[in-house]
Structure formats: C-alpha cells, structure tokens
Amino acid sequence: MIHIQNYINGKFSDPIQNEWLDNSCPADGVVYGKLPNSCAKDVQNAYEAAHNAFPSWSVTSIAKRSAILLKIAALIQANLERFAAAESKDNGKPISLSRSIDIPRAASNFRFFGKAITQFYSESHEARNQKTINYTLRHPLGVVGCISPWNLPLYLLTWKIAPALAAGNCVVAKPSEVTPYTAFLLGEICNEAGLPKGVLNIVHGLGATTGQAIVEHPHIKAISFTGGTETGKLIAKTAAPLFKKLSLELGGKNPNIIFADCDYDKMLTTTIRSSFSNQGQICLCGSRIFVEASIYKQFKKDFVERVRQLVVGPPNEESTQIGALVSKTHFEKVMSYIEEVDNLQSRIIFGGKRVPVEGYENGYYLSPTIIEVDSNQCKLNQDEIFGPVVTLMPFDSDDAVLAMANDVNYGLSATVWTNNLKRSLLFSEQLEAGIVWINTWMQRDLRTPFGGVKSSGVGREGGFEVLRFFTETKNICINYE
C-alpha cells in the first residue's frame, strides 16, 4: 500500500484529523494506497508555511529561482521511469503515453518557466512633452492556489505551479484526489532541488472540502483552476466576493472539421490521436467530427478500420494504445452517454462496449467508440463526455459546418483540415475557440496563450500571459520637470 502524505513546509505529514481516502488503480479496480482527506486546518498550515516563505522567495534573484526550477526539471527527467509508472498506475493511461508525453511535459513546464522568467519584462511609457515617465512594476501576488484535474495529473499541476513559482509566488496546490501519486513524488524532487521550505505546499483531499478551503481562504490571492465547467462556476462564485484573481481552464466539446481538399492520410492518422489519446480524456480532444459530404462514406470506412486496430489493454503493457478510464464513476458516466444512443437519430458504428482484459477483469476498459449522429443539437454533441467517444456527421457547405461548430456552449479548441488558404483563414477568424489548429492537433508551443472562450473558461495560461496572471501590476508616474 502506498502512503501518500501532504507536503507542507518542505516536510511530509499526515492529515491533522487522520482521515484518509482510498487510492485505487483503474487498471484492475484494486485499492493500492491511501491519501490524506485534508481539512481546512491542513490548508491553513500550508498557507502559513507559504506565507512565511514568501518574503524571502519573492526577492530571491531571478537567476536563483530559475536555477532551482531548472534543477526540478532535470530531476523529473532523471526520474522519468518512476514518474511514468506512477502516473500510469494512478490514471490508467498507457505507459507509453506517460513516458513520452505526461512526464517529459511536466519537466518542460519547469524548464520553460525557469527560462521564461529570465526574459519577463514590464513596460515604461514616456511623455516628453509632459516631462513624465510612467513605468510598471510586476510583483508576485503572494500565496496563490493551484487546483488541477486527474486527466493529465503532473502535466497540468506543474503547468500552474512552475509559472507561479517562477514569478516569485508561494503556492498551496491541490491535485485531483483521484490521481495524487505523482504530485506526492514531486515533493521529494523539490527538496532535492533545493526549493526552500514552504515555497510549494501540496495538500491532498476532496475538491468539495480541501479544494473549497483553498478557494475560500481569505489570504490566498489567486486561484488557477483546471477542471470541469460546473466546478469552475462554483469556484468563480466563491472567489468573486473575495476579489481573487481567477484563471479557469474548463471543459471542451471541440469540433474537428474535415474538408475533402485536406491531406487525407495525415488527417486520418491525426484524427485517431485527437479522438482517442488518453482514452479521450483530454480537454482538447476533437469529439465532434464533421466531414465534408463528398468524402464522408470513405472517411467513415477508413476511420472505423483504423480504430478497430487500436489495442485496448493494461496501462503497464508497452503495446497498449488505449488504457483504462480513470475511475468507476467516470466509466459509468461515459457509459451513460453511450446509452443515449437511440438508433434513430444516433447509431453506434464502432465500439460502445466494455472490453474484457484478461487478468484485469475489474478494470475500466472501454472500446474506442464512434457514433453517427443526425443533429448537432443532440446531447451527444452538446455535452462534454470526456471519454473515448466521438460523433460523426457529414456537412454540405462551409457556412453549415461553421454554424454547427460554433453552436455549442464550449469554446476551447477547434481543428480544421483543408489545403484552401482562404478557408483556413476565414475559419480561424470565425471559429469561437481559444485555440484553432489548422492541419494539425495539439501541437503545443509553451509560449502561446492557452485557454478557452464561453463555458471553456476565463483567462489564458502559457508564456508571458500566465506570468502576467501570477503578478500584480503597479504603475509609477514620475514628473521630472
């Protein structure tokens, strides 16, 4: 059994009330560890440690902060196999994915922000006629809260922590209670890298209690949250009267628009990834596939054929391409959408069933699922399912597909496959999304702004955008007449 502890003031500790939650393995449904069910007092202790560390960390030289973050990055990389195995076990994702994407990206997050902070700058505005010079100071906020989901556990947690620390803040973080393992391991790495005690504190527990205690803490100055839209609403409601800065990265129901003039083979290969990577549990997955009518039949045939070849299996096997869904609750939620299929306006054309995996009979394995729908208005096209489930629909014109793509509450990302330059520019402009990919998917450059519109969130992460989020600006005006 793994004994996960809170990481407060540079030390590992049990929760004050000695209450624990089970940590189970999605591959076989077996409980393999316990984690703290932390209460508000644990959060308060974490806050105090962060608060005490802030005066020193906030004035630590950029060179030193940068060096520590780069050291953390190097240590994550050096422990790649250990972290990758832990992430797969906790989340159910194929080991090949955690080894090639999740953990290297967690290291990159620290490496990127360790370097970005050395290039961060503020502005000055000179008005020679008035003999004034204005300049802007960007100071760290103080103690900030970072709350992250279970789908890309260490990747998304560090995407918040790294810029917050780089900018000179101290952090109280809460990973998802469903996937706490790699966040726990991160504490050891931080100590080894020489991160001063109290600068980063990781408190484990339930969203409704531990998470809520962070959000409603009167002196935690900002909340950076990634998770579901409903949770985002609740957080916004709690934080607004306290005038906290808020960054909300929420759900998505992203369109993948395929025109007949695209590079077909590249599109097909990428569409397999954008549909089913991480069992479809990525907020950026293209879960609504719209295909130009002239190639619809061909696409349907080829897509089903390729999806049929995907290997569903235990996360720890190298050959596995589709692992287990993260939990029983989530598996049941995804299945409930599949049960919506009525065979009239929607039809399963592939998958839709639990997959029995030998030796892992109680794991949460679901076949990649393709559903043909007749209307973009159906629940399957309007709700975020967040599993290995995509819908297919043909379209006849640019206007029709643009209208359908935008006719949804979400607006995180969109993908367009076309070799027509004019069309790609018009779609980039008119799609209601924070991120538009043309002839690619999830090709990330950490300098770019990342976030959504509509119910997909508020604010942008990434690059200097997030460093601005994690700093407070102050304008100084000097008259030198």
Binding site for ligand NDP (CB under 6 A): 147-151, 156, 174, 176-178, 206-208, 211-212, 215, 226-228, 231, 234-235, 249-252, 283, 384, 386, 412, 452, 456-457
Residue identified by tokens 């299996």 is 313
Nearest CA-CA partner of 217 in 125, 299, 121, 142: 142
- Minimal distance, residue 37 CB to ligand NDP, in Å: 10
The structure tokens listed for 391 are 């819908």
Longest Cα pair distance anywhere in the chain, in angstroms? 82
**CA–CA–CA angle 194, 154, 156 (5° rounding):** 110
Residue with tokens 């601005």: 468
Angle, helices 181-192 vs 80-91, to 10°: value is 160
With 0-12 / 13-18 / 19 or more C-beta atoms within 10 angstroms meaning exposed / middle / buried, residue 88 is buried
CB of 231 to ligand NDP, least distance (A): 3
Encoding tokens for residue 159?
Answer: 């995407």
Residues 254 and 267 sit within 8 Å (Cβ to Cβ)? no
The catalytic site residues sit at: 249, 283
Q: Of 394 and 411, which CB lies nearer to ligand NDP in the complex structure?
A: 411
Nearer to ligand NDP, 57 or 450 (CB): 450
Instruction: Tell me the residue number closest to ligand NDP, measured at CB.
Output: 207
User: Collapsing DSSP states into helix, strand and coil, what is residue 465?
Assistant: helix
Minimal distance, residue 454 CB to ligand NDP, in Å? 12
* Contact residues for 349 (Cβ-Cβ < 8 A; gap 6+): 300, 304, 370, 371, 372, 392
> Given the complex with ligand NDP, which of 70 and 236 has the nearer CB atom?
236
- Rounded to 5°, the CA angle 156-271-178 comes to 30
**Both structure tokens of 217:** 């803490």
CB of 384 to ligand NDP, least distance (A): 5
Residue showing tokens 């103080």: 142
Closest approach of ligand NDP to the CB of residue 270, in Å: 19
- Terminal C-alpha separation, the chain: 71
Torsion of CA 40, 45, 46, 50, to 10 degrees: 140
In this complex, which beta carbon is closest to ligand NDP, that of residue 142 or of residue 457?
A: 457
